[in-house]
Structure 1
């Protein structure tokens, strides 16, 4: 209903009514459900997609998911076969593989709670926040699908991951037990996300929820170490009994009902912020932009206001400003600090698990844990790549700026290497040699962090390739490989030493040479192709690479 008030047609002091121009019939305000359905119908009408195209996309997604699950089962099964048999006589200290998987489930619970706090879990972004939240309708009907989306997604992810761990890594042959473990994980994940949603209705800040999840994640490796010292051993992953599954189902239903009843109590500001972060994260995942995804998750739980400020009296000069900025950004991100600590404890946990304490387990621990820690150290460089104007204001060349930004990742990864390679050395009985190898390989991680942070964006103007996530540029894989490529090259001596079980002097020397090469390559501002064209005397800025005269 459209209405227009003529000038002078409303005088509250004299009780005058406004003069309406347009339809004169009045009725009750529409429900939120009808508004939501009208919006969906209008979007579908203008989308141009037919039912056949929708079924084709669903079929494509299901087939891709099935193939991914099959590949994951194959990888975990191959890893299980590569691991040595568990000791038969028992151990006084150490933790069994099923017990370690149980600790991993605890860590995944912390990750899920942290993501729920950073993404909402209930939000309205984009046009929904601009139009829906301003309407005089009940918000329960508007927000009901949004309140169900993240719990269902978390339940599906939890069921798949736990089922893969049980059937693949632990070799569970009883399908009933695997299905029960997956069902228990799904119900537990739904309860965790719904509890975070209840906290959002009680105006608990998203930062607090994310911080609790980070603390749970940080407590998981500590729990594993305590269990290893105490000799905590399990023969199989604990299976939830029927009464526990029924209790989880009842709890999930009650929490879902309570969240639905309290949807109208979520502040509009919280809904807009959660929707904005979720939209940014989804866009980053669709475009395969890990840097944008990290920024969304980091800024999603950041404080909007600082309780105090620091004067940074010791900062004098551009290099000191760069180092101080990188350290401050790292320390203010709780997620990244927890990520580094957890990654540093991974090799120690592998050393305490008899089935994992070997070349394969340590190699995976070094590569996976090191890459996780490396990505956490480059937040300052990633922000500088997003806003390059700050670096350009400094009286330093671009190459020097990147080299100065390697210092913070280098120092952090040096400490990580001491902890990680010290665990391998303690297990192998040669701490000094393994520490020397870890110290020599630390620059590789620093160079990879800067190379990954300053990688160019994909060229969306070129030819596109059809994928399950939509059309992507043909060169997106080469862009994503910037960073991991130098890790693969620079960690070859480390991999050989782990597989051999000893650090040879020649491997230590080769590692030093490769570290210098990685630092030199990652600190440059030009790609390898551009350098080759410069060597050949061509100008890459000109079409066809015209020869310079």
Structure 2
């Protein structure tokens, strides 16, 4: 009887291991051999995409240019102080957002077929995953450039300063993408990266609060622009500072060094792709496939379910806790425990308080309630997973032994407490209690309506559109919830009296809990 040992791959038994480049060339040949579309059909689709991007880019660029000229006309110390504070808010937010998004999908991902047929073989894994890695780096660089262009140009920064900020932002987000690839190689690294993302999100609230609560400057026409790496006064009557200066030369040197370090980091990280586990790579591919399906159906709630399901599959299992009381009190207790099992969502929710304070600090007081409402909606929506599960399951409603309206009230009480606390913390930026009530009522009714929405309906005649025939039920799906949010904000946006700011949102709130919802099919 021979002892069994580890299986050792011997090329003499199976032949030489093919290179990843050869495998990709062979797969490309097979796909092209099975293609049933002509070259002109493909060219027409590509032309439409390019034309749409050019139109959107031209329109958006014209708007940004116009807003930049309007903002650049402000030469007060207040406008200068605003531009100085923008990087301290924008950079932590961008880095935190990039860390969370990339770590949620991998960032390097592959389909289940690729994981089964290719990644499980002795083929060089790093070479197989390198195209996906390059795509991630490219997307991070493009996002950095667009974010810097929009973020700095809207506040009237000189175009030379916008270019400097874009360069450093590209380097920052590219290095962040490399860090997420390194963190993907270990579960402990991913956890620490998410903690750093949470810390950056909270750090962005400090300059936003300072910006919103600072005293108004009394000195006019004293502008001193301080950029990401450009520090120094210049004549505000000029459209932009001279390019060849001591500060510009220093920035040029810093930019070249940053690009060199970024390039080295990208190359070094690419050499470690073989350390990525097949499980983490395939999980990211499944998440992207699920998100694509949710985007096709325009179901925002399904998109949140896909992300939530990925998280709980990674967690595996938790220690169960005994419930308390019965009926409504028991459901409230379970909802409270469910929310506490994912505390990072609470951290992100409170971190979004930076939005109303940052908008208030810019001086656009009209936009503060709108920005606070949408930020609060994004912060509260992840807490409504329980209500969404109940609203789409007849069996679960019957098992709980309560009416669906009572269940909606019970499962909305804990998120309602979060909304009350969130709006109370945002009250200094909102200004008065009536506006805060309208914002809080809009947030709560909006998230309840979206979470308790029925699945998209495919019944009825199709509607012709440039994208083909579309079921009419898909059009109303993306705006479900936001309609009540905007309805509660109507008296605030139209500057009506505080009485109407209390009456209309209060009526919408009472109607939401009074109407009996239809049972899911």
Scaled by the length of structure 2, the TM-score of the pair is 0.81
Gaps of 5+ in 2: 4-11, 218-222, 231-250
Q: Distance in 1 between matches of 2:23 and 2:391?
A: 41
Q: Distance in 2 between matches of 1:466 and 1:129?
A: 37
* Aligned CA distance change for structure 1 residues 506 and 120 (closer, same or farther; 3 Å): closer
Q: Distance in 2 between matches of 1:135 and 1:467?
A: 44
Q: How does 1:194-213 map to 2 (within 5 A)?
A: 194-201=178-185, 204-213=188-197
Q: Pick the aligned partner of 1:483 from 481, 484, 499.
A: 481
Q: Distance in 2 between matches of 1:77 and 1:328?
A: 49
Would you say 1:122 and 2:108 are equivalent positions? yes
SS in 2 for 1:480: coil
**2:89 touches 2:205 (CA, 8 Å); kept in 1?**
yes
**1:327 touches 1:408 (CA, 8 Å); kept in 2?**
yes
Q: How does 1:398-547 map to 2 (within 5 A)?
A: 398-425=404-431, 434-439=432-437, 442-460=440-458, 463=462, 473-496=471-494, 499=495, 503-521=497-515, 524-525=517-518
By how many angstroms is 1:160 displaced?
1.4
* Aligned CA distance change for structure 1 residues 60 and 328 (closer, same or farther; 3 Å): farther
**1:465 touches 1:474 (CA, 8 Å); kept in 2?**
no
Q: Deviations over 1:483-536 (max 9, x none)?
A: 11111222222323xx36xx5334433442233234445x52279xxxxxxxxx
SS in 2 for 1:30: coil
Q: Pick the aligned partner of 2:331 from 322, 332, 344.
A: 322
Q: Pick the aligned partner of 2:55 from 54, 67, 74.
A: 67
After superposing the two structures, state which structure 1 stretch, 446-455 or 504-513, moved more: 504-513
Gaps of 5+ in 1: 1-10, 14-23, 426-433, 528-540, 542-549
What is the Cα-based RMSD across aligned positions, in Å? 3.6
Q: Deviations over 1:39-65 (max 9, x none)?
A: 233234334233333333333223333
SS in 2 for 1:393: helix
Q: Distance in 2 between matches of 1:518 and 1:234?
A: 51
**2:345 touches 2:382 (CA, 8 Å); kept in 1?**
yes
| 1:142 equivalent in structure 2 | 128
Q: Deviations over 1:269-300 (max 9, x none)?
A: 22222222233233333443322322333444
By how many angstroms is 1:210 displaced?
3.0
Q: How does 1:349-388 map to 2 (within 5 A)?
A: 349-351=358-360, 353=361, 355-356=362-363, 358=365, 360-385=366-391
Aligned residues: 486
* Aligned CA distance change for structure 1 residues 264 and 298 (closer, same or farther; 3 Å): same
**2:211 touches 2:357 (CA, 8 Å); kept in 1?**
no
By how many angstroms is 1:139 displaced?
0.9
By how many angstroms is 1:115 displaced?
0.9
Q: Distance in 1 between matches of 2:81 and 2:384?
A: 33
Q: Deviations over 1:95-153 (max 9, x none)?
A: 51452354123201110011111111112222111211222211122111122222211
Q: Deviations over 1:364-405 (max 9, x none)?
A: 323332332342332332344465543331101222222222
By how many angstroms is 1:224 displaced?
3.0
Q: Pick the aligned partner of 1:181 from 144, 165, 170.
A: 165
| 2:274 equivalent in structure 1 | 264
Scaled by the length of structure 1, the TM-score of the pair is 0.77
SS in 1 for 2:109: coil
By how many angstroms is 1:220 displaced?
0.9
By how many angstroms is 1:310 displaced?
4.3
SS in 2 for 1:490: helix
Would you say 1:238 and 2:223 are equivalent positions? no
Q: How does 1:67-86 map to 2 (within 5 A)?
A: 67-73=55-61
**1:384 touches 1:390 (CA, 8 Å); kept in 2?**
yes
By how many angstroms is 1:472 displaced?
5.1
Q: Distance in 2 between matches of 1:365 and 1:447?
A: 17
